Structure 1
Amino acid sequence: MQTITLDALIPREDFNILSSTGSSSNTRNKQTLSIEDLKYDSFFFSALRKPIFQRETNEWDAEKVCSMIESFVNDELVPAIILWRNQGGYIFVIDGAHRLSSLGAWINDDYGDGPISISFYGNYISDEQRKAAEKTRQLVNQKIGSFKEIEAISRNRISTENDLKNDIAKNLGALAIQLQWVDGNAAKAEDSFLKINQSATKISEAELELIKNREHSYAIAARAIVRAGKGYKYWSAYSITEQEHIVELSKKIHQLMFGIGNINMDDINSLPIGGPLNSSLTLDVVTQTVRICNGLDRKTKTNVGDANEVITYLRNTLRILQYINSKEKFSLGVHPFVYFYSGIGKHKIGSYYGFLMFAKELIEKKKIDNFIQVRSRFESVIYQYNFLVQQIIRKDRQSKRAYVSIKDYYVLLMEIILENPTYSNEAIVEEIKKNDKFKYLQTEIVDNETVAVKSNFSRGKKQQIKMETFVESLPRCPICGGYICSNSVSVDHIQRKQDGGTNAVENGQITHLYCNTTYKN
C-alpha cells in the first residue's frame, strides 16, 4: 500500500510551549470546524499543532484520503476531532490528525508536494512522495473536483454541467466538523493522547517507547534521521554548530538507509537497505537501527541526552551503515536484495536488523577478513535458504529478540564455512541444524502446487521470476566471489601497478571497495 505523506500540514510543537499571544482561558472554545478554518492562512489553522511525539501523518493511502474528503463534502458522518488548547493559545490535535490533514490537503492543494510541504522539508521531496501525492490529487479531482474549482463555482455563482460539483459548491459553506476539547494541563493532554491512540490505530511498542523517551539521545537521533534533518527540529535547544552537525550526519544516514526514497523493483541495485521510506514502520526501523548500532537494547537504561551524546549515536550509526553499503573505501558493499529482500521484493526487517548486529560484531572483533574469506559461500547459503531467517523470526517472535538469533545464525554460518570450506550448501545447513539453538530449522519446503496447470503466472510469481533472473545476472567480486552492488564498487587493477600493471581497460575489474583497498593489500 502506497501511503500519502501529509505530515507538513500541521506542524509539531511541545505541549508546554508558550506564545506571546493567546489566552489561558479555555471556556470559549468553538464547537464546530468550517471549511474556512482549514485554509492554511486562517487564524484557526495557523494555531493548530501536533504533539512533538505524534507519529508521522503518513498512514493513509490515496483512496482513504479521497474517501475522507468525500464524506465531508457529502455531509456524511465524520468522527469528531479531539483538541486541547494550552496556556499559550496553541491548539493541539489529540485525535484526528489524518482527518484534518486530508481536508487541509484538498483545500490547500498540498498532498505532500505543495508549497507547505516543500517549505517544511527544506525543498526536498522524494520521488516516491511526489508520485503518491499526484496520484491522490488526480483521484480527488476526478471524484470530487479540486477545491479551487469548487470555490470558483461558489464565488462566481455559476453552474457547470457537473451536478455533483454544483451541489458541493452550494452546500460547502454550511458543512462543519464537530469538535471535542480535552480539559486540564499538559500531562492530562498527553495521557488523553496515548489512551485514544492506543485504542484506535494502535501505537506500536517501539513508537510508544519513543514517545515516553522523546528527550533521550537515541530518540532525538532517530527523529533526526527519519526526515534527513528536515521538518520539526527536535534538537533545536542545542547550539547552532551542534544542530548543523546533527543535520549533516542525519542526511548521510538517511541517504544510506533509504536512497532517494523511490523503490524500483526493476532495478535491484537501487533497493535501499532500510526498506521503503514512506512506510508505517519507518520510525520503528530507524529507531531500532540507532539502538543496534549503539548497543542499546530494551534493558539498557538511557538518560536524557545532551548534544554530544546525540552526535555520538549518529556517528556510530553512520559508521556501521557505511561498512554495509556505501562509497567509503572500507565498505563491504553488501547487495541489499540478496541480504534484505524476499523473492518477491518485500523488505525483510528481521534480516536487516540481524545483519546490522552481525556487521557491528565483525567490526568490533576485527573479523571482517574472516567474513571476506567465506563471503561467496555465505551469500549462496543465505540466498538459497532465505526462508530459514523467517523460521528464526517466528520462533523468537515472543521474545522480541529475533534479530539477536539471526545474528547468531550468521555468526555460526560463517564459522562452519571457515572450518569446512569444501562443504556444499546442503552440508553447511545440516551442520547448522546440529546446533542446539537451531535444531528446529526445517529445510524441507513443501510446494503446494504439485500439479502444473495451464494458467497465467500470478503477480507474485512474475515478480519472483524477474528477481531470480536479475540476481543471476549480478556480477561477482573477483577477489571474494560475493555479489556486487553497483552503488558500492571499486575499479581495480588485475595486475597491481607495483607489479607492472598498466591502465589498459583489459587490466581493470570491478570489486568490492573493502576487497580492493583493504583485503587485497
Structure 2
Amino acid sequence: MPTPLVNMDALIPREDFEAATTEPSTQSSILSTTMKITDLGPDSLMYNVLRKPDFQRETANWSPEKVAELVGSFLEGDLIPSVILWRSTISGNIFVIDGAHRLSALIAWVHDDYGDRHTSIRFFDSNIPQEQQKAAQATRDLIRESVGSYSELSLALRNSDTTPKERLRLARNLSAFAINLQWVAGEAEKAESSFFKINQQATPIDDTELDMIKARRKPNALAARAFIRAGTGHKYWSAFDESVQSDIEKLAKEVYDLIFKPDLDSQIKTSDLPVAGRGYSADSVKMVFELVNFVNDFEPEMWRDESSKRKRKGSPLRRLDDDMDGHATIRCMRAVKRAASRIAGKDPASLGLHPAVYFYSATGRFQPAAFLAAIAFIKDLEQRRAVAKFTDIRAGFEDFLIRYKYFLNQIVQKYGSLQRSVPPILTMHKSLYQALQEGLTEHDAIERLKSQSPLRSSLKVTTEEDKRHGRNFSAETKNSIVIKNIIESAPKCAICGARLNLRSMTFDHILRREDGGTGAPDNAQLSHPYCNSGYKEGAHAAETRL
C-alpha cells in the first residue's frame, strides 16, 4: 500500500483571482523580500492575508518524511527555493503562485496542524479520514524526534539553562532565518498565466488535475470536487444560492458514505470493505472525475471546448457550459448517486455487489478500473433490460470471477490501473455474461474471453506452481489470504445464490406478507435488495400470469 500523504490543504485558504482590472499593480520594489517564521502564526497579519488560487490543486502530495525534511532544512539554513507570490490590489490578499507545499509545511509546524487539528477539523467539517489522521501523527512524531515542535523551540531561548544544546541552536536559527520571496508583477491574468507556466515545469500538473482546473466552473468538475471530500473542504460551489449549496453538500455526503465508507486501512482486517477503495488517495480524484463523466455521458471534447471538432452519431457533441446556478451540478450528482446506489447500499434497486468479488484484486488491492467497469457493466445491463437475466446467472458469474481473480491483475498489469483498463475489464464481464447465458462450459468460457481482441494477450490461466513466494508473508500475501477468507465466509443471497455484502443486505419474507407470511425468524432469509424487490416480485408476477 502507498505511504499516506499529509493533507495540509486547510492551512492556506483558497480564493478567486479577480478579473482583469485597470488598477495599477503593487510595485514589487516596495514588497518584502523575506518572510519570517513568525509571519506564519495564526495571529500574524501576513498569514491572515495569504491565499491560494481557487484552482490550485490540493496541498496533499507530500509524505510525512518530506514535510519533516523541509522543516529541518529551514532550521538548518539549507537552501530552500523562493516562494513566489502575487498581491491583489483589490482585496489586498497575497496569493501563493509557487511554493504552496513548502509554505504549508512550515505553517503546519507553527500551528501543529498536519491535517488533524483545529483549522483542518473546521475546514473538513470534522470529516478527517483515518489515513489522514495517521499521516498527521506520523509527521508530528518525526518532527518532534528530529528538531522539536515549534512551541518547544519558541520557549527554548527563555529556558536556555534547561534546554538541550542542539535544540537551543535550532531555536537561535529560528529567530534569525527567513523564507526568500519573489513577486509576480501585473494584473490577475498575468498571475494566473504565471501559475500555469511555473507549475508545469518542475512538477507538471497531472492531466486529470489540469482538466479539473480548466473545467473548474463546469458541473462535472464541481461534482467531483464535492464527492471527493464529502462536501467539506474548500467550497468550490460557494457562489451558488444557499439552498443549492446545501443540496450539493447533502448529495456529496450521501455518495461519499455509499462508496468510501468504512475507511480502508493499509492492511485489510475486516470483511466490511468500501466499494470504491480509499477516499483519501492519489487515484481517488481521478476515479471520481471519471465516474462523474461516464455516468453523465460527458466526453473530454465537451468540457475542453472542442465539441465542434468531433461528432457523435452524425451530430456535433454538445458543449458543456459553466454552471452558473448549481443546478447542472446537482443533476450530475444525482446521476452518480443513482449509479452508485445500483451497485451498493440498500436502495430497492441495489444489486449490492460484494466489493471483495468485484473491486479488489487477488492481492487485496482496490482496483479503480474494476469499480468503473462494474458501473459500466450494470449500466449496459440496464439499457438492455437484462438485469433480471444477469441475476439468473449471477452466482455462476461471480464464482468464475473469484476462481480466476488473477485475470483482473493480468489486465491491469498490461493496460494500467485506471482508464485504459476499464474497456478490457468491461469486455471480460460482457463476454462472460454471454457465455454463461449460452450455457458454455468453464473451459469454453475462458476460450471465449481469450478470443476477444482486448483480452487476447492478457489472460493466462495459472496454477499455484507458477507463483513464487519468499520465506515471510508479504503484505500482499496477507491481504490475499484475508480477501480469500472474506469471500469464502460471505453469506449468500437466498434468492440468487450470489454473495452478500453486509452493507447491502436485506431481510426477505420467504412467504410474502401478502400471502400470509409473518415476521417469525423461520420465515426470514437474507437477500440482495434487488432480489428482494424487483427480481422476486417480477418472478412472482410471471408465475401469477402462468
Asked if TM exceeds 0.5, the reply is yes
1:3 counterpart = 2:5: yes
| Structure 2 partner of 1:373 | 392
> Any residues of structure 2 matched to 1:243-282 within 5 Å, and which?
243-263=245-265, 265-282=267-284
Shift of 1:231: 2.0
| Structure 2 partner of 1:356 | 375
Q: Secondary structure at the match of 1:290?
A: helix
> Any residues of structure 2 matched to 1:291-302 within 5 Å, and which?
291-300=293-302, 301-302=319-320
| Structure 2 partner of 1:470 | 486
Q: 2:218·2:320 contact (CA, 8 Å) conserved in 1?
A: yes
> Any residues of structure 2 matched to 1:44-63 within 5 Å, and which?
44-63=46-65
Listed one character per residue, the Cα deviations across residues 34-81 of structure 1 (whole Å, up to 9, x for unaligned) are 111111221111111111111111111211111111111121222211
| Structure 2 partner of 1:226 | 228
2:462 to 419, 434, 445: 445
CA distance change for structure 1 residues 345 and 390 in 2, over 3 Å: closer, same or farther? closer
1:493 counterpart = 2:496: no
Shift of 1:250: 1.1
Q: Secondary structure at the match of 1:94?
A: strand
| Structure 1 partner of 2:181 | 179
2:111 to 81, 105, 108: 108
1:303 counterpart = 2:306: no
| Distance across 2 between alignment mates of 1:469 and 1:231 | 37
1:12 to 11, 14, 29: 14
TM-score, with length taken from structure 1: 0.92
Shift of 1:114: 1.0
Amino acid at match of 2:49: A
Amino acid at match of 2:278: P
Q: 2:411·2:459 contact (CA, 8 Å) conserved in 1?
A: no
% identical equivalent positions = 37
Listed one character per residue, the Cα deviations across residues 289-318 of structure 1 (whole Å, up to 9, x for unaligned) are 111111112233321123211110010011
| Distance across 2 between alignment mates of 1:236 and 1:451 | 54
Listed one character per residue, the Cα deviations across residues 385-405 of structure 1 (whole Å, up to 9, x for unaligned) are 334345445665699554234
1:417 counterpart = 2:433: no
Instruction: List gaps (5 residues or longer) in structure 1.
Output: none
CA distance change for structure 1 residues 397 and 470 in 2, over 3 Å: closer, same or farther? closer
| Distance across 1 between alignment mates of 2:455 and 2:362 | 23
| Structure 1 partner of 2:100 | 97
Could you say what the CA RMSD is over the residues aligned between the two structures, in angstroms?
A: 2.6
Aligned positions, number:
516
| Structure 1 partner of 2:71 | 69
CA distance change for structure 1 residues 425 and 194 in 2, over 3 Å: closer, same or farther? farther
Amino acid at match of 2:428: Y
2:449 to 419, 423, 432: 432
CA distance change for structure 1 residues 29 and 424 in 2, over 3 Å: closer, same or farther? farther
| Structure 1 partner of 2:307 | none
| Structure 2 partner of 1:520 | 536
CA distance change for structure 1 residues 387 and 152 in 2, over 3 Å: closer, same or farther? same
| Distance across 2 between alignment mates of 1:458 and 1:267 | 15
CA distance change for structure 1 residues 312 and 105 in 2, over 3 Å: closer, same or farther? same
| Distance across 2 between alignment mates of 1:437 and 1:139 | 47
Shift of 1:196: 2.3
1:510 counterpart = 2:526: yes
Shift of 1:210: 1.0
| Distance across 1 between alignment mates of 2:468 and 2:241 | 67
Amino acid at match of 1:201: T
CA distance change for structure 1 residues 80 and 518 in 2, over 3 Å: closer, same or farther? same
Amino acid at match of 1:479: I
Q: 2:83·2:182 contact (CA, 8 Å) conserved in 1?
A: yes
| Structure 2 partner of 1:29 | 31
Amino acid at match of 2:438: E
Q: 1:263·1:271 contact (CA, 8 Å) conserved in 2?
A: no
Q: 1:126·1:260 contact (CA, 8 Å) conserved in 2?
A: no
TM-score, with length taken from structure 2: 0.88
| Distance across 1 between alignment mates of 2:38 and 2:231 | 32
CA distance change for structure 1 residues 393 and 457 in 2, over 3 Å: closer, same or farther? closer
Listed one character per residue, the Cα deviations across residues 85-144 of structure 1 (whole Å, up to 9, x for unaligned) are 222322111221111111111101111111111111223323332232222212211222
> Any residues of structure 2 matched to 1:97-176 within 5 Å, and which?
97-154=100-157, 156-176=158-178
| Distance across 2 between alignment mates of 1:343 and 1:436 | 24
Amino acid at match of 1:120: F
| Distance across 2 between alignment mates of 1:36 and 1:78 | 17
